[in-house]
Structure 1
Amino acid sequence: MTRTQKTVFILVAIIAVILGLTVQRVLSMRSGSDPAALVDAGVIMLPQSRAVPALKMIDQGGEPVALDQLKDKWTLVFFGYTYCPDICPATLAQLRQIKASLSAAEAGRLRVVLVSVDPDRDTPQQLKQYLAYFDKDFVGLRGAVEDIQTLSKALSIPYIPADTRKPGYTVDHSGNLAIIGPDGRQHGFIRAPLNVQKLSARLPVLLTR
């Protein structure tokens, strides 16, 4: 092989690699699986998944739920409460919008869970009535304050327990969501405030993993 032929061969190989990477990049962006696009939508995936504490809470139907058994679907966990004046109703309304934008199959792979940070006032009946305003399939959970704190620390979504002696008290909490995978482990976060348009475009990719 002459020097000219070698040069041509090397150039062709380089061009093939560049074209391959370009095509892969375009296909990735079209499918929405580009990691940068997920970050742009507020989705942060952990480099390694985390175990969810083996806690038991009560859902809005009064039934016990083992948190480490939230499997078979992708679960978005939001810490909030029914007497919240702003963040909670806005977030739940946005989650309803996002879910409505999904196909029936995609929506069937998604679970939304509200963990109450106000168990004193958020009885199962109160949770059931409140969540019904947004989506009948949204799950509400309540438990002991100690368990709620354990869970929030494990998922890295902080809140500050309120002084329940004060009338009309409010609870300081994060608007971020934890992402639990079908394996029952935490895989990431969704940052607040939610971007409905971008999340509606990116979540289907996550739900097919």
Structure 2
Amino acid sequence: MMKMLSALLLLAAVNVQAALPGDSIYQLNSQWQDRKGHSLNLPELAGKKQIIALIYTDCITACPVIVADMKSIQDALTPEQQAKLGFVLVSLTPARDTPKIMRHFAKKRVLDEHWTLLSGDDDKVRTLAMALNIQYMGLPDGEVAHSNAITVLDEQGRLQLQQVGLPKGPEALIKKMFD
């Protein structure tokens, strides 16, 4: 019975990926680990717009600003909009950002069920960063220099828009996402 269930889930994942457009980030079909320690394949994010950013949990400079900007977007959404949107944070330091660390980070930042925190191996992070045009580089002191972009993916994982910060406020970004 368990093998049959696994086979059906695999077939469903293949069918979802086949239905995705060629320029979808979800074509990467890479497996990640969420803050609960569960495996997640990128195509599982399909069906909702996703606001995604690459951060690391022990950052004290840019990453807290990125998360605060994303939270301000969430706070400005109507309940209907929030139901159509997810928030994804991908760790730039996957060896350090274990599920336990990510759970603590989410609790400290009050990130609710609309937020998905992901960690993968270095190759997956690099591949996703390249697909999103996010540049980053580890520094000798353990910090990470990185692009501070917030990326919006459409329901099929295609890049809808990307920007640094919220220069015109969260409402301007929300208008661009839902118009």
Q: What TM-score, normalized to structure 2?
A: 0.78
Gaps of 5+ in 1: 1-47
Residues of 2 paired with 1:158 and 1:49: CA distance?
A: 22
2:69 and 2:165 in contact (8 A); partners too: no
Instruction: Indicate which of 162, 181, 185 corresponds to 2:158.
Output: 185
| Deviation of the 1:194 alpha carbon | 2.3
RMSD: 2.0
| Deviation of the 1:51 alpha carbon | 2.0
Aligned to 2:101: 126
Aligned to 1:11: none
Residues of 2 paired with 1:202 and 1:175: CA distance?
A: 15
Gaps of 5+ in 2: 1-20
Aligned to 1:56: 31
Residues of 2 paired with 1:140 and 1:57: CA distance?
A: 10
1:80 and 1:117 in contact (8 A); partners too: yes
Aligned to 2:177: 206
- Assess, with a 3 A threshold, how the Cα gap between structure 1 residues 152 and 202 changes in structure 2: closer, same or farther: closer
Aligned residues: 155
- Equivalent position amino acid for 1:56 in 2: Q
| Deviation of the 1:188 alpha carbon | 2.7
- Say which SS state the counterpart of residue 96 (structure 2) adopts: coil
1:93 and 1:134 in contact (8 A); partners too: no
Answer yes or no: is 1:194 the counterpart of 2:154: no
Deviations along 1:122-154, whole A, 9 cap, x unmatched? 001111110222322321100010110011001
2:151 and 2:161 in contact (8 A); partners too: yes
- Equivalent position amino acid for 1:174 in 2: S
- Assess, with a 3 A threshold, how the Cα gap between structure 1 residues 111 and 96 changes in structure 2: closer, same or farther: same
2:33 and 2:99 in contact (8 A); partners too: yes
Aligned to 1:136: 112
- Equivalent position amino acid for 1:200 in 2: E
Answer yes or no: is 1:158 the counterpart of 2:135: yes
2:66 and 2:150 in contact (8 A); partners too: no
Residues of 1 paired with 2:145 and 2:100: CA distance?
A: 23
- Equivalent position amino acid for 2:36 in 1: G
| Deviation of the 1:162 alpha carbon | 4.5
Residues of 2 paired with 1:49 and 1:188: CA distance?
A: 17
Larger Rg: 1
| Deviation of the 1:192 alpha carbon | 1.2
Aligned to 2:81: 106
2:34 and 2:119 in contact (8 A); partners too: yes
Structure 1 stretches of 4+ with a deviation exceeding 4 A read none
